Structure 1
Amino acid sequence: MASLLRNLSYRFTPTPSSDFQKAKNVDALFTKTDPAVDGDDCLHDCESCSIKYPRKFEIDEDDKLYGNINGWNTHLIVATGKTDWVRDVADEKGSVMEAVAKTEEPTNGMMLSASNIPIPHTSHSDPDGQVRTTVLLLPAFKFIDHVTPAAVPDLIQHCVNTAPTNTTPLADPASDNSLATTPLPAGLDVRDCPHNYLILLCSHATRDARCGQSAPLLKKEFERHLRPLGLARDFDDERPGGVGIYFINHVGGHKYSANVLIYRRRLSPDGKPLNEAAQCIWLARIKPQDCENLVRFTILQGKVVKPGQQLRGGFDRSTQLTSW
């Protein structure tokens, strides 16, 4: 319990930026699709829509969603190779998550997530038994390799605290973000995340069985729509571009399952993705039949089809707007 309280104390404590503003309402943060511009929001390929939730998969459909999340400024996603965890991931003994909860808190409001990203095949234990793993830092879109629990204080000080945040202006497209130029502690290596887009799905069945049911079904349906576009990527596929799909632990609001977080890299004037995420679009009440639209409009265009029913919040660094 102590680790949970400590974790929550800084998990949602963003460092404010005077340049950013809170979006006035649910329709102001992200562009809503317009049938006159975007066309029909369904391709009506009903025979292929065979993936459905179990019959007793019930969620809250009545509460107002938008604005009920607190702000965060960086997101640290830890590779564990698992799809479910103990109730509070900071209680995973000997884990990076436990070490994060015990170390000096980040200065910029970090969200911590465990994920099913595999522990690298080249990973090995140090003499003291600590296993090295990989973390993904957002919005920097950087992987940091060879992280051990003992290295977490250096990770926080030299990587997280110096990284771009959700509420800092986008850097000049010709420049790289600060992680590329910040000297790293011995043993840690940084590399680009190869994907242009990331989909994060809560799979934390220990917290709520619905998340354990929804995540694999949504992943399968997302991949069905991404594959014909050449955008599907598995763990071993590091071709540039595409969409990475990762399972993460509890993000709150399980009664609104399924929660889906979509990180999108910014685009250059000619439409090519550049360093850093420009947006994170946090949605809920997502069903398999929504995946087609999420690929066509949200992932590829940064638009939201049903903001009033499904948008919980997020940020857009290009417009300097947040939901908090």
Structure 2
Amino acid sequence: MRAPINTFKMTSLLRSLTDRFTPNASSTDLTATEKRKDGFLTAKGTDALFARTKAEIDGEECLHDCESCSISLPRKWAIDEDDKLYGHIQGWSRHLLVATGKSDWVRDVADEKGSVMEAMGKHNDDVEGGKLMLSATNIPVPDHADSEGPYGKDRPTTVLLLPVFKWIDGVTPNKVPQLIQSVINPAPTNLTPLSLPTSSNGPSEPSGPPTPPDLSLDPSNLPEGMTLRDCPHKYLILLCSQGTRDARCGQSAPLLRRELERQLRPLGLYRDLHDERPGGVGIYFISHVGGHKYSANMMVYRRGEPKRDVGEQIADGKGEVGGEAAQCIWLARIRPEDCENVVRFTVLQGKVVKPERQLRGGFDREKGVVSW
């Protein structure tokens, strides 16, 4: 049986350190790209977007599914295993996660009466800078003694805006137009180049298109009653749980969360829905994102940072963090036995273990590469 994820063998750490100083060992193939008008590159294949794991670098762990996983998908579980996944998702510029306290919704979340999602649907034409992905989530709604239920035109809730990793509190359906103008439209997008901070070894090598002027959000411009704060988590894992769109999503999401929790707890990285400790991994259920026939869908958002080995990622993932999302790695066909390596390699290192079978797409703002 393999050693637990939190007690990596020294050889694996040495391989990771070797990878750190050997750019071509497990890097992406930027020759398989196509120039875009905005200065970014479109990755024509999986290896041009994210690095894949390699046994000679990452250890033989990357070749094997979890052997100690006791959680299984339903016996009659069946999904599409034949379609080619990569390169078929539509591009998006920002992602808005709306707290509802629920894990399932009506078929189209914009039809949830009295909700922020409904208001966003009505004012979607006011959004600038590209497509806004809208997701309802199981993030708890704030407690209000004079209100019942999660929705209402004056019922405040909380939203999370990506890639800026910002919580906005006090959002009501009536204030959605102000939210769009004051927060969403000025915010950076997935196509805003990201420059890394200078490391102790000197500035990082430039990559991707040039860095634009600062587009950080100004809390002083917020409408009355709204507040802006940093999301404390270093990583986010989003799992589609909407059973009204496909029963498989409603079945798989709770099982995957249990196994992810089992893998993250020994590392000190698990954060539940009420855990505001800095760092760690937030796991949220979200509404339909497309491709339910490839269940389970998983989106991994990772903050920008210099390249480091997995041991450093674990240590630094527990403390104060900052910065925007550098990557979103969108996977599908995820099973409980995949979760150990998803944590070990995808969440902590930004690598993909089974790109041909599981990678749908995503973006990397540090390299200036997208899948669309």
Using the size of structure 1 for normalisation, the TM-score is: 0.90
Deviation at 1:195, TM superposition (A): 0.2
CA-to-aligned-CA distance 1:168-203 (integer Å, 9 cap, x gap): 111564898511466211111000000000000000
Following superposition, which runs of at least 4 residues in structure 1 exceed 4 angstroms of deviation? 42-45, 122-126, 174-177, 268-273
Work out the CA distance in 2 between the residues paired with 1:81 and 1:123: 16
User: Do the aligned partners of residues 70 and 307 (structure 1) sit closer, same or farther apart at CA in structure 2, a change above 3 Å counting?
Assistant: same
- Structure 1's 94 and 321: CA in aligned 2 closer, same or farther, altered over 3 A? same
AA paired with 1:296? R
Contact 1:99/1:152 (8 A) holds in 2: yes
1:201 aligns with 2:239: yes
SS in structure 2 of the partner of residue 32 of structure 1: coil
Distance across 1 between alignment mates of 2:224 and 2:194: 29
1:25 is displaced (CA, Å) by 1.1
Q: Which of the residues 194, 198, 211 maps onto 1:170?
A: 194
Q: Secondary structure at the match of 1:163?
A: coil
What's the counterpart of residue 331 of structure 2? Answer: 283
What's the secondary structure of 2:178's corresponding residue?
Answer: helix
Alignment of 1:123-138 (within 5 A): 125=147, 130-138=154-162
- For 1:307 and 1:27, the matched residues in 2 are separated by 8
Distance (Å, rounded) in 1 between the aligned partners of 2:87 and 2:107? 25
- Return the alpha-carbon distance in structure 1 between the equivalents of residues 166 and 340 of structure 2: 28
Distance 1:238 1:298, change over 3 A: same
Question: In the superposition, relative to structure 1, how do residues 172 and 64 fare at CA in structure 2: closer, same or farther (>3 Å)?
Answer: closer
Which residue in 2 is equivalent to 1:316? Answer: 364
1:121 to 2:159 alignment? no
Q: Quick one: which amino acid aligns to residue 289 of structure 2?
A: V
Tell me the equivalent position of 1:99: 119
State the percentage of identical aligned residues: 64
Q: Distance in 1 between matches of 2:220 and 2:53?
A: 40
The letter of the residue matching 2:279 is G
* Post-superposition offset of 1:129: 5.6
**Matched residue type, 1:84:** D
Q: Is the 8 A contact 1:77 1:112 kept in 2?
A: yes
Distance in structure 1 (CA, Å) of the matches to 2:51 and 2:66:
25
CA offset at residue 107 of structure 1? 0.7
1:216 is matched by which residue type in structure 2? P
Checking the alignment, whether the CA contact within 8 Å between 2:153 and 2:173 is kept in structure 1 is no
- Displacement of 1:89 in angstroms is 0.3
Kindly tell me the number of residue pairs found equivalent between the two proteins. Answer: 307
Q: Distance in 2 between matches of 1:65 and 1:77?
A: 24
8 A Cα contact 1:17 1:168, kept in partner: no
2:351 pairs, out of 303, 308, 313, with 303
| Other-structure match for 1:141 | 165
Deviations 1:279-313 (A, max 9, x none): 00000000000000000000000000111110000
Contact 1:42/1:292 (8 A) holds in 2 = no
C-alpha change, 1:75 and 1:45, in structure 2 (3 Å) is closer
Answer yes or no: is the 8 Å Cα contact 1:20–1:321 preserved in 2. Answer: yes
Structure 2 gaps of 5+ residues are 1-35, 199-212
Q: Distance in 2 between matches of 1:308 and 1:42?
A: 14
Larger radius of gyration: 2
Letter in 1 for 2:366: S
- CA shift, 1:268, in A, is 4.6
How far is the alpha carbon of 1:154 from its aligned partner? 0.5
1:70 aligned partner: 90
Correspondence list, 1:258-297, <5 A: 258-268=296-306, 273-297=321-345
In 1, Cα distance between equivalents of 2:116 and 2:300: 24
Structure 2 vs 1, CA of residues 291 and 172 (structure 1 numbering), >3 Å: closer, same or farther? closer
| Aligned counterpart in structure 2 of residue 54 of structure 1, from 57, 69, 74 | 74
Does the CA-based 8 Å contact 1:171-1:177 persist in structure 2?
no
TM-score (norm 2): 0.78
Aligned partner letter, 1:211: C
Aligned to 2:46: 26
